[in-house]
Structure 1
Amino acid sequence: MAHLETLPRRRGPPPLQQNRARPDEGGRSTRLTLDQSRSRCLNSERTLILGGGISGLACALRLAGAGRKVTLVEGSDRLGGLGAFFEHEGRTFEKFYHCMLPSDGPLLALLDSLGLTPEIYWKPSTFAYAGAGRIFPLNTPLDLLRFAPLPFADRIRVGLTGLWGRLCSDKGLDDLSTVDWLTRLSGRRAFETFWKPMLEAKFGDRHQDVPALWFWTRFNREKGESKGEVKGYIRGGYKRIIERAAERLRELGVEIRLGESIQSADLDENGSPFVITARGREDAARLLITLPWPGLAQVTGPRLRQAAQVPDWGIDFQGVVNHLLFLKRPLTPHYWLATPESQFPFDGVVETSALTDESDRGTGRHVVYLTKYLHRDDPRFAQPAEEIHRPWFAALQRLFPDLAESDVEAAHTFRAPYVEPVYTRGFLKRRPPEVLVPGKVFLATTAQVYPVVTSWNGSVIQAGRTVDAMLL
């Protein structure tokens, strides 16, 4: 069995030699060369987009489609962000699992505009909960009534909590903690047994301050689905989406530059935006930033930081570790199996084989993600792949005693330090605005998606908000 480990890397080519004037003793350029003057004229109406994840791609498609001149700069050697993929035996697989919901209207509309709708397919999906040494399906009212870890009365209260969560207004929920809200609705015992382990799995000891609005959006994400409990995937995987988006951008005249790390973003003495990348200085009429919020906070220069109308630069993010197993046998019929008990080193078992065709994953191959949300400063985040595999696989065998090491074709470990904000009560007041500097610097990141669920669909929604602000 092969063990491979991939860490996110930001790399760029060596700095290019620029035809620049020498600075004077005050650090100001004493003259502009003819080439520089021409460059600044050419860039006077250009929008420079930083980041080539789904947010950057969606913004670029909207702006270029509106006739704007766009350059997109990505620090890694591939587009896609958390939709990044890798190759295994002639096929591509996502490093971090993805799926679509029928309610993901903005994302599905974007895919339709790229001509990809005929390539999307849908399959029924189910959820289960591992507790008290058993696996309990939780997809129907009858399933909940059979959920043995809770007394019967608590099962009724949990069911009513879910029903009320779909019916109630979200008013005031941003200022109320999920802990208080769910305890009030389900009771202390049901909260401690059922809800709290899932909150701790997602946010660790920071779960106490997560706003109820965050949880309410999860109750309502799939409300009113005409297709029922189904999830979607696309033939060829998310690589297909990324490549088709890049193809369309080039058709629209967008310049895409990869492997060009962002070193700083700031305003010059006249208040115009510029960026320092691995290639040198870049000036643009408008700057649109889609970098993860902690990364942006690190590269923002003093003038931009002072001018930007940001309520809180200190928004922190959770990271994730995914241990991906290629198996020679199916593991579970459920797409998602929650494993919130402390005996499990991972939060959930995601069998994407339940959603994908063999034509996408290979005949007889089953793809399982073991996932754990961790802060990037947690020592477990940086554990070597082999140190992750041994205890994680042993814990998986406790759930599935007939699973053998010989059933594993290959294992891979992937990590992402910035996946989702650590939400706190009143997060709407901390949420960064779409416009950082009016008419000049704009923002579209996952720190703004709230209260929409953090997903590709949420990022497309946020991209639309930001571009709307730019086109006013």
Structure 2
Amino acid sequence: MRICIIGGGLTGLSAAYYLSRTYSVDVLEASAETGGLLSSSPVHDTNIERYYHHCFSGDAHLLALMDELGLAADLTWLNGSTGYFSEGRIYPLTTPFEILRYPLLTLRDKIRLGLLTLRAGKYRASSYDDMTADAFILDTCGRHAYDSFFAPLLRSKFGDWRHEVSAAWLISRIAIRSDRGPQGERLGYLRHGYQSLITALSDAVRRNGGAIHTGIPAHALEKTEEGTWMVNGAPYDAVVSTVRPSILTSLGGPSLPEIPYQGAACVTMGLSRDVLQGIYWVNVKDEAPYGAVIGHTNFAPFEWYGEHIVYLASYFRDRLPEGHEERMITDFCNRFSVSRDEIRWHYMTTDTAAGPVYTTGYRNLIPPYEVDGLYCAGMFSSPNYPERSMEGSVAAAQAVAETITSREASRD
């Protein structure tokens, strides 16, 4: 059986890994390299992700995959601290004492927010799919907490979509972030970056006899009279698409619901000093061309890199504004009192379809793993609802591989 996998990101490579153990697999990746949103760039003697990443202790599928690939010894558990930047100041929000001292919320706000955090894991998030995050926050935490704490986060994350985002996403986000001790969240990172996961997957696929073709996008799909598919004119017994559903439809695939996606633009910088007071993740309350500043070397050890690595994270809809990289860097320098000569290097990475936007009613848009004889898995799949993650991508890959295997077994 010959299978074509469209897309060489984490879902595509994971699906190829599971399927290549039994079948002949071809992976088509439009970019010059595999990895997708998990791709990396070389920094000195190691690699750094173009978009910030970490994993969680509950990521069962991802951790099992790392173990199978011999990466378990490289997985390091670290503490992720958090803060909020407002009006020229960083407010640490990692420990209970720091949260109690935070002056921009009232004591009543903090109590209600604390109760929401404690209860988040007990909510059935999917049952709130038709309720907006706005309505949920106003109901559980009140107007002041919404205006002073949540509204800036939703604005920076979703922009014009912020009032359409579902409470299901918010509840899931709070629940996954509530697993923390006195020193912050317990988060996982690979010693040599997640490029080692992409490399290990690619190597395993090739050892199994699979082929990975980079720089070759899928540009045409055609269903044959026998019910199989042609991809770029080549015949396959099965096709797994990991790309955005609307793109699959435009290539000639089945008609799928339109899932809203947003783009991401991330500036990565090497700095000569730490400007975040040792904090890993700093959300920006004030309006800015980015929503968060991520101090990677306040999470992963500074000694691994020999300089301070920082991400500026922003999202956009439809088209990235011209001059966005310079605008982000200029704002960062002004806001965090950084001189240009302290920035040793920088680059911006963009993706116009970085991830789904979990608007109300999103649950009804999720396609099944098999549609009209073609298989689909990716950030749009059910394991990535109502919050996308590396774990969800690996789980979706495993599920679609099992769907194909079961389908073939039933035909024998």
TM-score between the two structures when normalised by the length of structure 1: 0.81
**Matching of residue 113 in structure 1 with residue 68 in structure 2:** yes
Residues 1:405 and 2:340 are matched in the alignment: yes
Please show how residues 196-345 of structure 1 align to structure 2 within 5 Å: 196-222=151-177, 229-276=185-232, 281-299=233-251, 301=252, 304-305=253-254, 310=256, 312=257, 314-332=258-276, 333-342=278-287, 344-345=288-289
* Residue in 2 that maps onto 1:436: 371
Q: Percent identity?
A: 27
Q: In the aligned structure 1, how far is the partner of 2:310 from the partner of 2:62?
A: 25
Give the CA deviation at 1:168: 2.9
Give 3-state SS (helix, strand or coil) of 1:346's partner. Answer: coil
Match for 1:415 among 341, 350, 353? 350
> Does residue 396 in structure 1 map to residue 329 in structure 2?
no
* CA distance in 2 between partners of 1:433 and 1:330 (Å): 46
Unaligned runs of 5+ in 1: 1-44
What residue number does 1:368 align with?
310
Q: Which sits farther off after the overlay, 427-436 or 441-450?
A: 441-450
Matched residue type, 2:41: F
Does structure 2 conserve the Cα–Cα contact (< 8 Å) formed by 1:127 and 1:337? yes
What amino acid does structure 2 have at the position aligned with 1:57?
L
Q: How far is the alpha carbon of 1:297 from its aligned partner?
A: 3.2
Indicate if the aligned counterparts of 1:46 and 1:286 stay in contact, CA closer than 8 A.
yes
- Aligned 8 A contact 1:141 1:159 in 2: no
Deviation at 1:396, TM superposition (A): 2.3
- Asked if the contact 2:117/2:175 (under 8 Å) is kept, the reply is no
Instruction: Give the C-alpha shift of residue 222 in structure 1.
Output: 4.6
String of CA shifts for 1:249-289, please: whole Å, max 9, x gaps: 1111112222212112221233321111xxxx111111111
Question: Partner residue of 2:395?
Answer: 461
Contact 2:384–2:393 under 8 Å retained in 1 = no
Distance in 2 of aligned mates of 1:82 and 1:295: 17
Q: Which residue matches 1:27?
A: none
Distance 1:167 1:305, change over 3 A: closer
Amino acid at match of 2:389: S
Quote the Cα distance in structure 2 between the aligned partners of 1:164 and 1:92. Answer: 38
CA-to-aligned-CA distance 1:322-343 (integer Å, 9 cap, x gap) = 111111112221111001321x
Task: State the distance in 2 between where 1:228 and 1:105 align.
Answer: 21
Q: Structure 1 residues 239-248 or 351-360, which shifts more?
A: 351-360
Give the structure 2 partner of residue 156 of structure 1: 111
Contact 2:179 2:185 in 1 (8 A): no
- What secondary structure does 1:413 align onto? strand
Per-residue CA distance 1:276-310 (angstroms, 9 max, x = gap): 1xxxx1111111111233432332x1xx425xxx4
Find the counterpart in structure 2 of residue 40 from structure 1: none
Q: CA contact under 8 A between 1:114 and 1:245: conserved in structure 2? A: yes
Change (3 A) 1:144 1:357: closer
Tell me the secondary structure at the aligned position of residue 286 of structure 2.
coil
Q: Distance in 2 between matches of 1:441 and 1:393?
A: 44
Question: Given the alignment of the two structures, is residue 383 of structure 1 paired with residue 322 of structure 2, yes or no?
Answer: yes
The one of 94, 113, 135 aligned to 1:180: 135
Equivalent pair of 2:126/2:386 in contact (CA under 8 Å): no
Post-superposition offset of 1:398? 4.2
- Aligned AA (2:328): W
Q: What is the CA–CA distance in structure 1 between the aligned matches of 2:13 and 2:298, rounded to whole Å? A: 28
Give the 5 Å matches for 1:67-86: 67-86=22-41
Encode CA deviations 1:193-250: one digit per residue, 9 max, x unaligned: 1111111111112111211111111122255579972222212222211111111111
Match of 1:33 in 2: none
2:409 aligns to what?
none
Per-residue CA distance 1:115-164 (angstroms, 9 max, x = gap): 01011112211010112432111223332222211222222222222223
Do the aligned residues in 1 keep the contact of 2:273 with 2:308 (CA within 8 Å)?
Answer: yes
CA deviations over 1:372-425 (Å, ceiling 9, x no partner): 011132xxx1524xx633x33343234433x22221101111111111112221
Give TM-score scaled by structure 2 length. Answer: 0.92
Task: Tell me how many residue pairs correspond in the alignment.
Answer: 403
Task: Please tell me the residue identity of whatever aligns with 1:282.
Answer: A
With 80-89 and 409-418 compared, the bigger mean Cα shift is at: 80-89
Q: Give 1:434 deviation, angstroms.
A: 0.8
Give the structure 2 partner of residue 26 of structure 1. none
CA distance in 2, matches of 1:92, 1:320: 20
Structure 1 residues 314-372: Cα deviation after superposition (integer angstroms, max 9, x where no partner): 21211111111111112221111001321x211000011122234542x2x11100010
Say yes or no: does 1:102 pair with 2:36.
no
The whole-number CA distance in structure 2 between the counterparts of 1:69 and 1:291 is 21
Q: Distance in 1 between matches of 2:37 and 2:204?
A: 20
Letter in 1 for 2:325: I
Between the aligned partners of 1:392 and 1:228, the Cα distance in structure 2 is: 27
Q: Distance in 2 between matches of 1:95 and 1:242?
A: 13
Farther off after superposition, 330-339 or 350-359: 350-359
Q: Could you tell me whether the CA contact under 8 Å between 1:294 and 1:316 is conserved in 2? A: no
The residue identity in structure 2 corresponding to 1:429 is N
Determine which structure has more spread, i.e. the larger CA radius of gyration. Answer: 1
Task: State how far apart, in whole Å, the 2-side matches of 1:326 and 1:346 are.
Answer: 17
| 1:144–1:159 CA contact under 8 A, matched in 2 | no
The SS at the match of 2:98 is helix
One-letter code aligned to 1:434: Y
Q: Distance in 1 between matches of 2:321 and 2:218?
A: 24
Q: Are positions 1:356 and 2:300 aligned together?
A: yes
Distance in 1 of aligned mates of 2:254 and 2:191: 43
Alignment check: 8 A CA contact 1:103 1:225 kept: no
Q: CA RMSD in A?
A: 2.0
